Every structure is written in C-alpha cells, then in structure tokens.
Amino acid sequence: MSPPESVIAAERLFDGERFLADRAVVMRGGLIADVTAEPPPGLKLLRLPPGAILAPGFVDVQVNGGGGVLLNDDPSPAAIARIGAAHRLGGTTSFLPTLISDTRPVIRQAVGAVSAAIAAGVPGVLGIHLEGPFLSPQRPGIHDPARLARFEPEDVALLTGLGAAGVTLVTLAPEMVPPGSVAALVARGARVCAGHTADPGPAIRAALAEGLAGFTHLFNAMSQMSAREPGAVGLALTAAGAFAGIIADGHHVGDEALAVALRMKGPGRLMLVTDAMPPVGDPEARASFTLFGRTIHRTAHPNGDRLASADGTLAGSALTMAGAVRHMVSRGGASLEEALAMAAPTPARFLGLDGGIGRAAPGYAADLVALDPGLGVLGTCIGGAWQPGPAAQARAS
C-alpha cells in the first residue's frame, strides 16, 4: 500500500538539474505529483528546518554490504533488506547489491535472492552488480584470487539470469573474456563495466566498441595511464560516452585525482559510489570482519574509517553516499549541484532509469533525501514513505 498523499517543503530544492527556492514536493501513490511554490492545503505537511536541502535520493551502483552483512556471506532477501536499511541512513534510496568475485553457485544464489527481494518489494533494490569473477589476476585488489574464473559461453546466461526483473551490471576485465562476450552480455540487457583490469588499452577499446558502458571504481585496481599507453584510466577519462564510478572517501582516490576526473568527465558521466562493506550502519560497530578468510580491519582516520587487510590492501569502504557528496564538495573540487548530480541523476542515467528516478519532478518516484546545511541526512523518502535520518535524530536529542 502506498503512503497517503503528503508534502515536503524546503527552502532549497535540487531537482536534479538546478536549485529552486522555497518549493513543496507533493507525493501521491509513491510518485511525485507536483512541485509547487505553495504547499496545498489539507495535506500532511513536513516542513524541513531552515537551510535544509531536499534532493533526489541517492543511487549507489556498488554496495557490497552494510548493517554488519556482506552479500557474499548471506545472499538472501533478508540480508539485502538489511543492507538497504543501513545505507538509507546515508541518503541512499536506490542501490545495486554487489557480489564480489565468487563461485558460480553463489552467483546463481545471489541473482535469485535479488529477484526475490524485488518481487517482495524490498525498498530501493534496483537489480544486481556482479563484480567478477572474470577479473585480471594481476589486479585482484581484495578479491580472492582463488575465486577468479575463466569465462565460458554459458556464463552469459548465468550473469544475466535476473532478466527483466531488474538491472544487471557486470564488472569484468576485458582482456580476460573472449571477443564478443561484452556484446553478448549487452544483447541480453546487461550493463558492462571494465574493472580489475591490467589491459593497457587494446582490449578495453574493443570492449567499448562492443558496448562497454563504463568503468568500475576509477583509478583503483586498473591499468594506469602512461606516456604511450592510455590504460584503463586514460580510456575512462577520454571515452566521451562512458561513465565512471569513483570512491570519494579520501582513501581510494586523492583529492587532486578526484578534481581531474571531474574536470575530464564532468558530473554527467562521473558518478559517486561507495563500494561499501558491512561496517556501514553496523549496529554493533565491530572493528573487523572476515572476507574469504582474511581479516579486514576498520581503523579510524581523519578522512573517515579505513578498511584494509593486514598487508594494507584496501577492502572496500565504510563510506555512505552522503559522505561521498560531502567529500566531493569539501575536497574534490565539486560544487554542491555537481556532487548531488553525481549521486542521483547521473547513476540513474547510467542504469537507464533516468525516466523514473534521479529527479525531483512530477511523474518520478517519490525517492528523496533531506540534508541539513552540513549535508548530514535529515531523512529520506522511498516511494513517499518518510524515514528520519541520523541528523534529524541528533537534532531531537
């Protein structure tokens, strides 16, 4: 059942393209019915505090875990719901549960769990991101080398098993799959990104010609640009039609590199992702977790908590999308409009869902985030259902 008709009013509304002053968003049947200067009388009204910002809810295409749960460890609808609830506290209203490299039976189980979660109406689930296992052993990052695999023809059907139930995003190393594999995945509806690749350029160029849509966690676990070879980084920055996800947490990418990427790609092609792990929203605030038998330590840092193995390998992040927005504005060279675009309309467009999410406009899903002047999360709406956020709870205490 959809929430009753209601209104949220704010001094500042970012509609996905620009800021508007003193606007009220009317929500009906899970959708935005109107955006008006005056709240209609007789409806339930939530008026945000002075200085607050209302914006399209954040869309995160790379969410490995949250709430103390890792999708690989528990590929179930209940785990997906818990992950989504944890990230909602950070302003995320839509997300792709992400499975890092694992065995084919686990891939099949995760795809089934996402399908069941969507059918059950778990809030915010858009589909699945399968990051691996067809990655370069030269650039595994924190992925378990024992779980990397050779691409077989039948893997096209395995990876696209979600079908029309939701969006499928596949990250692979183009040099590790036979020619035509990217085209075959795209033909079955998948979006394909290059990641964890050591290719200096030729295989990635060929993949772009086959329909490669973007690049996963730009700069990290990929071939770098040199004087004579573009590498994945160079092609990501210069391929005009390609999108790129980037982790703006102060650990994965330096602030100067964030600014360069933004200048090269622009906020319409560069999108914020968290690459988040179980510590995000973990109610027990554990100092470590286990990933394929390796202990991952969570350590405090001025830039925010850092997740790494004992040898220093980064293991995803403890980042929220609101934290990524704050970092891009304060240290990554982005205006607030640019950072908010990178967090909602740009990933929505990358996923091909920009006709339904990622904007605060009539006909779009009533998926919104309310932010205080410091960009803390006052609350979120998913389908018009309001939930207070950490910043609102702090104001009330």
Q: Which among 375, 340, 376 has a CA at the least distance from the CA of 358?
A: 340
Q: Which residues are annotated as a binding site?
A: 131, 142, 196, 217, 220-221, 228, 252, 314-316
Q: Over 70: is that where the pLDDT of 1 sits?
A: no
- What is the tens place of the pLDDT at every residue in 151-208? 999 999 999 999 999 999 999 999 999 999 999 999 999 999 999 999 999 999 999 9
Q: What pLDDT, on a 0 to 100 scale, did the predictor assign at position 303?
A: 83
Q: Which among 220, 217, 215, 191 has a CA at the least distance from the CA of 205?
A: 215
Which residue did the predictor score with more confidence, 181 or 3? 181
Pair 118, 138 in one domain: yes
Q: Which among 394, 391, 371 has a CA at the least distance from the CA of 8?
A: 371
Active-site residue, selected from the candidate residues 15, 275, 354, 372: 275
Pair 180, 99 in one domain: yes
Q: Which residues are annotated as a binding site for Zn(2+)?
A: 131, 196, 217
Which residue did the predictor score with more confidence, 285 or 244? 244
* Residue 245 β-bridge partners: 271
Query: Is 289 inside any structural domain?
Result: yes
CA atoms within 13 A on the CB side of 341: 16
Contact of 126 with 98, CB cutoff 8 Å: no
Q: Over 90: is that where the pLDDT of 58 sits?
A: yes
Alpha carbon distance 317, 128 (integer Å): 19
Alpha carbon distance 239, 257 (integer Å): 17
Query: Is 1 inside any structural domain?
Result: no
Q: For the domain that residue 49 is a member of, what is the CATH number?
A: 2.30.40.10
Kindly report the number of other CB atoms within 10 A of residue 302's CB atom.
6
Contact partners, residue 191, CB within 8 Å, separation at least 6: 167, 168, 169, 170, 213, 214, 350, 351, 352
* Residue 47 β-bridge partners: 9
Tokens matching residue 297: 């330590």
Q: Over 70: is that where the pLDDT of 136 sits?
A: yes
Q: Which among 98, 130, 22, 8 has a CA at the least distance from the CA of 57?
A: 8
Q: What pLDDT, on a 0 to 100 scale, did the predictor assign at position 395?
A: 60
Say if pTM beats, i.e. exceeds, 0.85. Answer: yes
Q: Over 70: is that where the pLDDT of 393 sits?
A: no
Where residue 351 falls among pLDDT bands split at 50, 70, 90?
very high
Three-state SS letters, 272-335: ECCCECCCCCCCCCCCEEEECCEEEEEECCCCCCEEECCCCCECCECCCHHHHHHHHHHCCCCC
Q: Which of 330, 350, 370 is a domain's end point?
A: 350
Alpha carbon distance 392, 397 (integer Å): 9
Pair 173, 197 in one domain: yes
Q: Which of 350, 368, 384 is a domain's end point?
A: 350
Per DSSP, 145 falls in state G
Query: Is 199 inside any structural domain?
Result: yes
- What is the tens place of the pLDDT at every residue in 113-125? 999 999 999 999 9
Pair 209, 132 in one domain: yes
* Mean per-residue pLDDT of the chain: 96
Where residue 366 falls among pLDDT bands split at 50, 70, 90?
very high
Q: What pLDDT, on a 0 to 100 scale, did the predictor assign at position 307?
A: 96
For residue 83, which phi and psi values (nearest 5 degrees)?
-60, -45
Query: Is 263 inside any structural domain?
Result: yes
Specify whether 275 is catalytic: yes
Query: Is 133 inside any structural domain?
Result: yes
Query: Is 338 inside any structural domain?
Result: yes
Pair 311, 366 in one domain: no
Pair 255, 388 in one domain: no
Pair 276, 326 in one domain: yes
Q: Over 60: is that where the pLDDT of 379 sits?
A: yes
* Residue 20 β-bridge partners: 13
Q: Which residue range(s) make up the domain with 302? A: 58-350
Q: For the domain that residue 105 is a member of, what is the CATH number?
A: 3.20.20.140
Q: Over 80: is that where the pLDDT of 394 sits?
A: no
Pair 35, 87 in one domain: no
Q: Over 80: is that where the pLDDT of 2 sits?
A: no
Query: Is 223 inside any structural domain?
Result: yes
Q: What pLDDT, on a 0 to 100 scale, did the predictor assign at position 347?
A: 98
Kindly report the number of other CB atoms within 10 A of residue 112's CB atom.
15
Contact of 132 with 147, CB cutoff 8 Å: yes
Q: Can you spell out the DSSP letters for 2-20?
A: PPPPEEEEEEEEE-SSSEE
Q: What pLDDT, on a 0 to 100 scale, did the predictor assign at position 397?
A: 43
Pair 258, 378 in one domain: no
Q: Which residues are annotated as a binding site for substrate?
A: 142, 220-221, 228, 252, 314-316
Contact of 242 with 208, CB cutoff 8 Å: yes
Pair 23, 67 in one domain: no
Pair 174, 49 in one domain: no
Pair 89, 194 in one domain: yes
To which residue do tokens 């830039």 refer?
A: 303
Q: Over 60: is that where the pLDDT of 92 sits?
A: yes
Alpha carbon distance 259, 280 (integer Å): 26
Report how many domains make up the chain.
2
Positive/negative CA dihedral, 246, 251, 252, 254: positive
For residue 36, which phi and psi values (nearest 5 degrees)?
-135, 160
Contact partners, residue 187, CB within 8 Å, separation at least 6: none
- What is the tens place of the pLDDT at every residue in 259-295? 999 999 999 999 999 999 999 999 998 899 999 999 9
